[in-house]
């Protein structure tokens, strides 16, 4: 039994939530066992099967010991065990609840649960997910992945708070019903759907949020249209911590190609583009993008996407204990995507950010040289007697031999793995208490953002959310029933700094999207 090989990214994520290093975190997680129990009735329903799938995909990325239990030792249990092992080959899996400290129950529950074990009943119906600490919940048999998906994410937020209760003051949810369509803990409707026509949708970013979105899309058999998947990166081990679509064997593969394999929709055309957004536009010459789903994690690229003037943009993002989803469907009169990312104060440039987060703040020019010269971080150049890796090794008290894995890597790849991947925190004996400007949510947070982004897109395609607010914020580690999502309309930038205030952009948008072509 062992923590997943990519545990360092979990450490970084939890560090950012707790505001300080969680010393002994690995021991805390090793001392708990999370159980999933399902009865035959719950997995006879499609939503129950979907919920089980996502629960295993999320739990196996953080917890080294789990139990997957079905009283009849069904084939479904074996499938889930195989799935868990594909995510963490070293995971310890039991088939009884005897040693569990926390159990998620699908169905009526087993005859016996260990004494003092925290329990959560879970269920769903179409768009709505249900959680209870005391009452069994049922599952619907629809093809809608959003109710079971949101239920899985919310229950795992509660499991996380329970397992790290010494660090959290927030209460656990006792009884909730949450709509992924309305983004509300007091749902007013629960409409059914059959066919879902996406027309043509570009998904930019097949990382943490994009994986959650595509997990949901891949579970809708009636989805049709064209889906362009756009991401230039391959799957790195350090990011498997929150990529719910992928497992350890996918390391090194292109994200878009592996994501495409999860689909079996006969009426959905999927195109994979292993390029950045700008290269996608140049390659396809498709400048009139009707819809774009944004699932990336930096301001610069979001502004670049908005500047290409798609008709409608769906955006999702994560911040510390915050998940946001928004729709930008009126560049002229409403807040555009770029409005929320206009800097209002001086920010560090990339080389300064790298230097500070690598704990070498006085070596920003050194970092710039490596970036401009496209040098591997272990190379020495001119008359320098040390490499960038040598400097980082000394500054962070990391044995030089522990950094051999980064030999031959350029700045961007090194920084992505060393800092954004959390490896610095697992290697350094001093390090910083908290790195800045690095997005590192936990798997259930990213998956929730992606699922809610997908729900917003599907709801829009079906005409179900015309009266909804432009943006919603959800705080997954706060009690959902007491702390409803904050649904609101965004304020358009009033400083004149945003591109949506530029008359040239305004006129170009109007010419691209005449009124009679928007409907």
Q: Return the closest-CA partner of residue 266 out of 220, 229, 211.
A: 220
pTM for the structure as a whole: 0.86
Q: Are 240 and 61 in contact (CB under 8 A)?
A: yes
Locate tokens 């971080």: which residue? 377
Provide the 10 A C-beta neighbour count for residue 78: 13
Q: What is the pLDDT of residue 331?
A: 95
- C-alpha 435/C-alpha 433 separation (Å) is 7
88-102, 241-255, 353-367, 403-417: the lowest-pLDDT one: 403-417
- 383 versus 247: the higher-pLDDT residue is 247
DSSP designation for 430: S
Residue 13: pLDDT band with limits 50, 70, 90: low
- pLDDT, position 481: 76
Where along the chain do its domains lie?
Answer: 7-179, 196-344+442-463+489-517, 350-427
Please state which CATH number belongs to domain 7-179.
3.40.50.720
Let me know the angle formed at the C-alpha of 204 by 7 and 212, rounded to the nearest 5 degrees.
45
Confidence of residue 169 (pLDDT cuts 50, 70, 90): confident
pLDDT at 428: 55
Q: What is the pLDDT of residue 302?
A: 94
CA pair distance 37, 166, nearest whole angstrom: 26
Cβ atoms 338, 307 nearer than 8 A: yes
Half-sphere exposure of 228 (CA within 13 A, CB side): 23
Percent helix, strand and coil across the chain, each to the nearest 5? 40, 15, 45
Domains 7-179 and 196-344+442-463+489-517 share a fold: yes
Which of 187-191, 309-313, 364-368, 422-426 has the lowest average pLDDT?
Answer: 422-426
CA distance 363 to 512: 46
Distance from C-alpha of 425 to C-alpha of 269, rounded to nearest angstrom: 42
* pLDDT at site 23: 52
How is residue 323 written in tokens?
């998940």
Q: Which long-range contacts (CB under 8 A, 24 or more apart) does 308-315 make?
A: 308/277, 308/281, 309/505, 309/508, 309/509, 309/512, 310/202, 311/512, 311/513, 311/518, 312/460, 313/337, 314/453, 314/456, 314/457, 314/460, 315/453
Between 498 and 25, name the one with better pLDDT.
498
Q: State residue 14's pLDDT score.
A: 63
Q: Can you say how many angstroms the Cα of residue 285 is from the centroid of all Cα atoms in its chain? A: 29
Give per-residue pLDDT as tens, 475-493: 988 888 776 678 899 989 8
Q: What pLDDT, in 10s, does the model give residues 172-226? A: 999 999 999 999 999 999 999 889 999 999 999 999 999 999 999 999 999 999 9
196-344+442-463+489-517 CATH? 3.40.50.720
Tell me if 183 sits within 8 A of 449, measured CB to CB. Answer: no
Residue with the two structure tokens 């947070």: 445
Q: In sequence order, which ranges of 4-117 are alpha helices (DSSP H)?
A: 7-18, 25-30, 40-44, 46-59, 75-87
Q: Give the residue, 343 or 257, on which the prediction is more confident.
A: 257
Confidence of residue 246 (pLDDT cuts 50, 70, 90): very high
Nearby residues of 254 by Cβ (< 8 Å), 6 or more positions away:
231, 233, 234, 235, 272, 274
Cα dihedral 169→175→181→186 (10° resolution):
-100
Query: For the purposes of burial, counting CB atoms within 10 Å of the CB of 361, is it exposed (0-12), middle (13-18) or buried (19 or more)?
Result: exposed
Are the C-beta atoms of residues 238 and 409 closer than 8 Å to each other?
no
35 has pLDDT over 80: yes
Q: Which residue has the higher pLDDT, 467 or 304?
A: 304
What is the sign of the dihedral through the CA atoms of 112, 115, 117 and 120? positive
pLDDT at res. 434: 47
In total, the chain counts a number of residues equal to: 519
Strand partners, 93: 66
pLDDT tens, position by position, 426-466: 555 544 444 444 455 688 999 999 999 999 999 999 999 88
State which H helix or E strand residue 45 sits in.
Answer: none
Nearest residue to 304 via CA among 227, 198, 204: 204
Q: What percent of the chain has pLDDT over 90?
A: 62
Distance CA 22, CA 244 (A): 24
Rounded Cα distance, 206 and 261, in Å: 13
- Does the pLDDT at position 283 exceed 70? yes
Lowest mean pLDDT among 23-32, 112-121, 213-222, 299-308: 23-32
Average pLDDT, the chain: 88
Largest CA distance in the chain: 73
Q: How many CA atoms lie within 13 A of 509 on its CB side?
A: 21
């Amino acid at each position: 039994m062992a923590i997943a090989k990519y545990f360092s990214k979990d450490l970084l994520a939890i560090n950012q939530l707790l505001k300080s290093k969680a010393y002994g975190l690995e021991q805390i997680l090793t001392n708990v066992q999370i159980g999933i129990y399902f009865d035959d009735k719950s997995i006879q329903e499609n939503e129950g099967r979907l919920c089980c799938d996502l629960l295993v995909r999320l739990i196996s990325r953080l917890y080294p010991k789990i139990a997957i239990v079905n009283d009849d030792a069904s084939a479904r249990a074996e499938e889930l065990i195989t799935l868990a092992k594909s995510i963490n080959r070293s995971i310890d899996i039991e088939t009884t609840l005897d040693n569990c400290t926390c159990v998620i129950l699908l169905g009526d529950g087993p005859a016996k649960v260990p004494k003092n074990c925290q329990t959560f009943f879970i269920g769903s119906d179409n768009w709505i997910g249900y959680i209870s600490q005391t009452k069994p919940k049922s599952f619907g048999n629809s093809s809608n992945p959003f109710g079971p998906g949101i239920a899985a994410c919310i229950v795992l937020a509660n499991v996380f708070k329970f397992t790290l209760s010494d660090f959290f003051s927030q209460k656990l949810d006792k009884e909730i019903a949450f709509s992924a369509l309305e983004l509300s803990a007091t749902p007013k409707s629960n409409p059914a759907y059959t066919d879902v026509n996406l027309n043509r949708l570009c998904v930019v970013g097949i990382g943490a949020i994009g994986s959650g979105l595509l997990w949901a899309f891949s579970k809708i058999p009636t989805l049709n249209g064209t889906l362009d998947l756009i991401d230039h990166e391959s799957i790195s081990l350090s990011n498997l911590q929150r990529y719910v679509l992928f497992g350890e064997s996918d390391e090194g593969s292109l994200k878009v190609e592996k994501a495409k394999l999860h689909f079996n929709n006969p009426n959905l055309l999927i195109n994979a583009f292993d390029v950045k957004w700008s290269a996608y536009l140049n390659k396809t010459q498709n400048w009139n993008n009707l819809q774009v789903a944004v699932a990336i994690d930096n301001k610069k690229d979001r502004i670049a996407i908005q500047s290409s003037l798609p008709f409608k943009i769906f955006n999702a993002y994560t911040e510390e204990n915050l998940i946001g989803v928004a729709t930008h469907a009126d560049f002229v009169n409403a807040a555009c995507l770029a409005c929320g990312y206009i800097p209002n104060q001086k920010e560090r440039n990339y080389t300064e950010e790298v230097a500070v987060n690598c704990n070498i703040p006085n070596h920003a020019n050194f970092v710039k040289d490596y970036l401009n010269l496209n040098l591997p971080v272990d190379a020495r150049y001119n008359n320098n007697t040390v490499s960038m890796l040598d400097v980082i090794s000394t500054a962070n008290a990391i044995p030089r031999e522990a950094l051999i894995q980064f030999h031959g890597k350029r700045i961007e790849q090194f920084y992505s793995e060393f800092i954004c991947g959390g490896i610095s925190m697992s290697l350094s004996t001093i390090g910083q208490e908290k790195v800045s400007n690095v997005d590192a949510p936990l798997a259930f947070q990213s998956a929730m953002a992606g699922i809610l982004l997908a729900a917003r897109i599907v709801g829009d395609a079906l005409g179900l959310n015309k009266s909804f607010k432009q943006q919603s914020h959800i705080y997954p580690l706060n009690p959902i029933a007491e702390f409803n999502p904050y649904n609101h309309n965004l304020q358009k930038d009033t400083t004149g700094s945003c591109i949506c205030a530029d008359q040239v952009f305004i006129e170009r948008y109007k010419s691209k999207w005449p009124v009679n072509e928007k409907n």
